[in-house]
Structure 1
Amino acid sequence: MKITRVEAIPYAIPYAKPLRFASGEVTVAEHVLVRVHTDEGVVGIADAVPRPFTYGETQAGVVAVIEKFFAPAVTGMSLLERERMQAVLQRTVANPTAKSAVDMAVWDALGRTLDLPVTDLLGGYTDRMRVSHMLGFDEPAAMVAEAERMRDVYGITTFKVKVGRKPFQLDTAVVRALREGLGEQVDLYVDGNRGWSPAESARAMHEMADLGLLFAEELCPADDVLGRRWLVQQCDVPFIADESAVTPADVTREILGGSATAVSIKVARTGFTSSQRVHHLAEGLGIEVVMGNQIDGQLGSMCTVAFGSAYRLTSQRAGELSNFLDMSDDLLTEPLEIHDGHLNVRPGAGLGVELDPEKLARYRTDH
């Protein structure tokens, strides 16, 4: 079970519908496929999803750090030496999605070697998660229409609404239009991607107080320390720390400092090993957890559902698992399917998914 080689393969797949939000816009999925090979002929896979405007990583940077630093460092290690591997990877500052993809590919390789699903290795609580769909910036009528389509076609009844533009002229009107158009049978929560000020956030939440929102996420920058703490004190719904609380230390600081009351776990930036630490910390602190989305493709979404379904806490809330629907194509041989508002773990060893070699050859950009 020793690692013999690690590949980092850049590829690009256009989005059928561009995703727009306060911290950026995505029109092409410029990801990096990571493959971990072992001496037993097993190959584990995972996806690295760079977000330059959030974490500073680029596709080229992910490939470079894996090829130059991470691959040589983990080659020769056993798939079971995950703690030692983490210690080695953490010697390099930042690069969260590159580290996470290597970690998750190792877990996939381990599951394939042992002929066990990754979700069972992690915890095995359930085999599915409810799906939350993220609604990017658009006009109110278009966002309502998209939500209605997701509800009618896929059975999705939880929606994360991107806000952070003009809080009073547009954003609150969008959320109100969604509530009025979809009724009380759906759950709504808002994500500002740090686009509002604390004062704007407080006023906007007050204006939406009658809409029954589940959560508020990253409405204003965490760097505005006093303003953020003041805002959280005003909120009567859980305030989710997302990009401000990546590591367990971040979570501890934000929660104990009063800058958040819930956290988002994204395996694309903390892998399975570090995500376990964040999950256990959240359990100990008694806070809400949602499984977030890095604008993942199908492979990344399967990683999210594999982790989220492994634990009671992470499976209680709908996970952000549907943004692969906005991509024009994908790399898996059998596309993921959402039924009745749920995404199931794939049966089989590891992550239970396989790559289509023809599609990989078509979309890879390192020829």
Structure 2
Amino acid sequence: MKIQRIEAIPYSIPYAHPLKFASGEVTDAEHVLVRIHSDDGHIGEADAPPRPYTYGETQDSIMSIIDKVFSPQLIGLDPLDRGKVHEVLDRTIHNQVAKGAIDIALWDLLGKALGTPVHKLLGGYADSMRVSHMLGFRPAEELLEEALRFGEDYGITTFKLKVGRRPLALDIEACHVLRAGLGDDVEIYLDANRGWTANEALEVLRRTEGLGLTKLEEPCDAKEAMSRRRLVEKSPIPIVGDESVPTAGDVSRELLAGGSNAICIKTARSGFTEAGQILGLCAGLGVDVTMGNQIDTQIGSLATVTFGAAHEATTRSAGELSNFLDMSDDLIAEPIRISGGRISVRNVPGVGAGIDEDKLARYRQN
């Protein structure tokens, strides 16, 4: 079996409910569908979500790096020779989302060729994951209304509140309103997307003491090494590295520097292979991990479930899996269902995110 052809297909689907947060706002899913064809007729697929304000990648840059750099070097390789594939990818720095999509598409292709679900190839620990839902920048009462609705409709009991780059009083108010309205049995944690200074983060933690917040993600820029280390030392809850740790090397640097004491894994930027390396590193050091979301489509969310449910450590916390519900449509042929606050893996060969070709034709941009 050889890699015969790689497609990078741009498409755009509007969000019915745009998500706004400290580092940007998403109104349309202007993504890239990556397809890898083998010479024996198998096709592996993955979604690449550009986040220029976080990683510097755009829809155009993802298409260009795949078409002009990766494809010419990958065509002709055996998909099973993953070491050779990653040697090619690693020759080019950055471009993590493009690399992640290629890696996931190759795992999808291999699962289909072997007739095996990828979640079993990766570990097969569980058959589902608990769901965490992200709450964006909105008035506190509207956030509470959304959280109550998602709890009622989908059984979700974990919520990540986006904070940062707005008056601290708004973020503090949202924490208090959510806790009062949701009760003590619902988990709430924060993500500032580098929108605070370390001192601002400490002030928010002081003014939300007693609310039972469970963790704080990317409070300030990791380049503020001394301030971040001081925050980790003083914080009563884990400080989670996210944008600062897209690779295993970044995770090592951040943990050794004392800038984080928990790590967010996102398959959209690491694929399954490097996500496994990150997980192994954290497991060996006794560092907690969470499965994050890049405001993924259902295709991307199913990839997160596939990896997250495969390992015991990644099932301990709810994964951020539900923000596809804010989209007006999706390319996936069989929509994801959230039931009892959980999403199940798909026991079919590959990842299981088959594409609706009519929808792809409707939303593709070339």
What is the TM-score with the length of structure 1 in the denominator? Answer: 0.99
| 2:328 equivalent in structure 1 | 328
Stretch of structure 1 that moved more, 2-11 or 162-171: 162-171
Confirm or deny: 8 A CA contact 2:213 2:237 kept in the other structure. Answer: yes
Partner of 1:255: 255
Provide the rounded CA distance (Å) in 2 between the counterparts of 1:166 and 1:221: 16
Residue ranges of structure 2 left out of the alignment (5+ in a row): none
The Cα of 1:166 is off from its aligned counterpart by 3.3
After TM superposition, the structure 1 = structure 2 runs for residues 44-55 of structure 1, keeping only pairs within 5 Å, are 44-55=44-55
d(CA) in 1 for partners of 2:103, 2:123: 17
Helix, strand or coil: the match of 1:130? strand
1:211 alignment partner AA:
L
Alpha-carbon distance between aligned partners in 1 of 2:334 and 2:42, rounded to the nearest angstrom: 20
Q: Deviations over 1:166-217 (max 9, x none)?
A: 3532001101100001001200000000001111110111111111011110
CA distance in 1 between counterparts of 2:165 and 2:90 reads: 36
CA contact 1:167–1:196 (8 Å) conserved in 2: no
- Using the alignment, how far apart are the partners of 1:172 and 1:159 within structure 2? 15
Q: Tell me, which stretches of 5 or more residues in structure 1 are unaligned?
A: none
Q: Does the 8 Å contact 1:133/1:321 carry over to 2?
A: yes
Q: Following superposition, which runs of at least 4 residues in structure 1 exceed 6 angstroms of deviation?
A: none
Is the aligned partner of 1:317 residue 2:321? no
Tell me what 2:104 maps to. Answer: 104
* In structure 2, C-alpha distance between the alignment counterparts of 1:93 and 1:353, rounded to whole Å: 28
Work out whether residues 202 and 231 of structure 1, in 8 Å CA contact, stay in contact via their aligned partners in 2.
yes
* Distance across 1 between alignment mates of 2:355 and 2:198: 45
Determine the structure 1 residue equivalent to 2:174: 174
Residue matched to 2:207: 207
Q: Distance in 2 between matches of 1:83 and 1:316?
A: 30
Q: Give 2:339's aligned residue.
A: 339
- Map 1:67-106 to 2 at 5 A: 67-106=67-106
1:356 aligns with 2:356: yes
Q: CA RMSD in A?
A: 0.7
Identity of aligned residues (%): 53
Conserved in 2, the CA contact under 8 Å of 1:122 and 1:307? yes
Matching residue of 1:245:
245
Distance 2:180 2:73 in 1: 54
8 Å CA contact retained: 1:167, 1:200? no
Q: What is the Cα deviation at residue 353 of structure 1?
A: 2.4
Check the 8 A contact 1:119/1:309 in 2, yes or no.
yes
1:192–1:220: 8 Å Cα contact kept in structure 2? Answer: yes
Q: Residues of 2 paired with 1:152 and 1:288: CA distance?
A: 29
Aligned length: 366
CA–CA distance in 2 between the matches of 1:364 and 1:48? 14
Kept in 2: contact 1:108–1:350 (CA 8 A):
yes
